[in-house]
Amino acid sequence: MAKNTSTAAPEGVGEPGGGLHGRRVSRNLRLEAAVNAAFALAEREGLAGLTMRRLAQEIDVDVTALYRLFRDKDELVLALCERTIEMELDEIGDLAPTESWQDVLRRVAEVTWRVQTRFPAITELTFARTTGGPAERQMVELLLGCFARAGLDPTRAVLLYRTFIDTALGLCAGTAALHSLQPEVRTKDHTTWTRVYSHLSEAKFPVTRAHTDALSAVDDKAIYDTAVEAVLSTAESWASRSRGV
């Protein structure tokens, strides 16, 4: 069953004592180890450091051994994507049935931000991908359930679910892309606001000049929260309209 999810298959269920059993377990263990090492490597060295060669050396195997665990680098990337969602589901934990759909979505958004910004390199690689794996399926069911509970018809529920998750991941990816620039370039990029925008001519850029302080003070998490709340408000508005309020 589910032969397309080898990267997250349960460890050696079935075939008791069969010859395949031990090999499969050890294969999954090595897969796990490779994925774990990739996270460590990504956190430590950034996007440029996450290469097949460095990863192989990190877990002390030959590069070509990695190509027996993953068909190519893209398959590794999808495994990292699945694992990211697993971590998020873990952190979300069990949901009290009393919790409103809005608060569930806020919790998902919060956890997503935390995990995705902790591993910026992996966010850059995975933020637009679809794995079809078990963790992703569970996340889809959870999120879609929120918008369905809100009282939206299927078309609108799906549209808002995708708006919610794509917006959230897109903003995480933007922040991640900045954080994974070389420290030097990153500082240059970040200080542009004060370096350039506070010295513009009052005549040609009156509005920008009037907003200089606010421009350099705004922070990424506030932007993220604002976007999330904007989508939630839209969901509430659509839901109440379809209930005929």
From the list 223, 240, 241, 242, which residue makes contact with a copy of itself (rule: CB under 8 A)?
Answer: 223
From the list 21, 30, 118, 129, which residue makes contact with a copy of itself (rule: CB under 8 A)?
Answer: 129
| Closer Cβ to a copy of itself, 96 or 204, answer by number | 204
What are the structure tokens assigned to 208, written together?
């920008």
Count of alpha carbons within 13 Å of 97, Cβ hemisphere only?
0
What are the structure tokens assigned to 113, written together?
């931000």
Measured CA distances, 109 to 160, 166, 171 (Å): 14, 11, 11
| Closer Cβ to DNA, 52 or 159, answer by number | 52
From the list 113, 116, 131, 239, which residue makes contact with a copy of itself (rule: CB under 8 A)?
Answer: 131
Separation CA 92–CA 69 (nearest Å)? 30
What are the structure tokens assigned to 137, written together?
């399926």
Query: Please, what is the minimum distance in Å from the beta carbon of residue 14 to a copy of itself?
Result: 18
| Closer Cβ to a copy of itself, 96 or 207, answer by number | 207
233 binds a copy of itself (CB under 8 A): yes
From the list 3, 94, 202, 207, which residue makes contact with a copy of itself (rule: CB under 8 A)?
Answer: 207
Contact 150, 96 (CB under 8 A): no
Q: How many residues of this chain interact with a copy of itself, rule: CB under 8 A?
A: 63
Distance of CA 141 to the CA centre of its chain: 16
3 state DSSP class of 57: helix
Interface ranges with DNA (CB under 7 A): 23, 49-54, 61-65, 67-68, 72-74
H or E element, residue 169: helix 154-179
Separation CA 239–CA 94 (nearest Å)? 25
Contacts to a copy of itself by CB under 8 A: 4, 74, 127-132, 137, 140-141, 144-145, 148, 154-155, 157-160, 162-163, 166-167, 169-171, 173-175, 177-178, 185, 189-190, 192-193, 195-197, 200, 204-208, 210-211, 213-215, 217-218, 222-223, 226-227, 229-231, 233-234, 237
